[in-house]
Structure 1
Amino acid sequence: MAQSYNPFDVLELRLNSIENLLLDFKHQYISAPPKQADQWFDLNELCNYLPDKPATATVYGWVHTAQIPCHKGGKKLRFLKSEIDIWLLQGRKKTLQQTALEADAYLLKSKGGAGRTYGK
């Protein structure tokens, strides 16, 4: 005889599967280390954090020319550490080889550019 199809058995299997997934998610969430909250700097803290320890007037100049990421609440400037770290990394000088590769790529893209080799 053919076995009868019971839709409630299928529902029970699916519910058990969902329950197991939720329990796995719960255990992963509990065992995961909490994310560390980002740190805010005021102007003086930022000056002390930056490697070259600039004067506050210098930082005001950077803010005025939009060279540094900042947040303004009323009259108070605030700086997010993660944004400052990214900003510092973007300011890294390129090596001679990196500059030469970029120049070659530019020359190849431009009209009639025959790639040159610098610094080799």
Structure 2
Amino acid sequence: MEANEISFENLPKAVAHLVSEIAKIKFLVERKEAVKIPQKRIPIDIVEACRIIGKAKPTVYTLVRKRLIPCYKNGKKLYFFEDELLDWISQGRKKTMQEIEAEAKLDFGKNFKKIGANLNKN
């Protein structure tokens, strides 16, 4: 609707048109996802790495020497990234007894069916 078409007689049409335009804009704004700005990965030193994983320096040096922990070396200095250390920690998660029992029951059920099928064939 053009601005010059608005008069007292067609005011209800103009308001209806504006309401529909606002609804379209609202839909577009709500649908748009938040812009994700990638964070810079800043390397940390061994002191900070020790603090994050809760280990002493000699222990971290041993883990590095055995190549058990993610690290980077530039010259004689070791560098770590916090997100990699946290991923490394989460990979060492121990299963609960309930998880172990559920897996055992599931495996037992599968193996039991295989054994029963092999016995029926013979």
Tell me the TM-score normalized by structure 2: 0.54
Question: Is residue 42 of structure 2 the alignment partner of residue 39 of structure 1?
Answer: yes
How far apart are 1:68 and its partner, in Å?
A: 0.9
- Once residues 86 and 94 of structure 1 are traced to their aligned partners in structure 2, the CA distance between those partners, rounded to angstroms, is 17
Unaligned 5+ runs, structure 2: 1-31, 117-122
Over 3 Å counting, the alpha-carbon distance change for 1:109 and 1:55 in structure 2 is same
3-state SS, counterpart of residue 77 of structure 1: strand
Unaligned 5+ runs, structure 1: 1-27, 114-120
Tell me the TM-score normalized by structure 1: 0.55
| Number of equivalences | 82
Match of 1:96 in 2: 97
| Bigger proportion of residues as helix | 2
Larger-gyration structure (1/2) = 2
3-state SS, counterpart of residue 41 of structure 1: coil
Moved over 4 A (4+): 104-107, 109-113
Match of 1:62 in 2: 63
Q: Percent identity?
A: 38
Over 3 Å counting, the alpha-carbon distance change for 1:102 and 1:70 in structure 2 is farther
Aligned Cα RMSD in Å? Answer: 2.7
- Once residues 88 and 96 of structure 1 are traced to their aligned partners in structure 2, the CA distance between those partners, rounded to angstroms, is 20
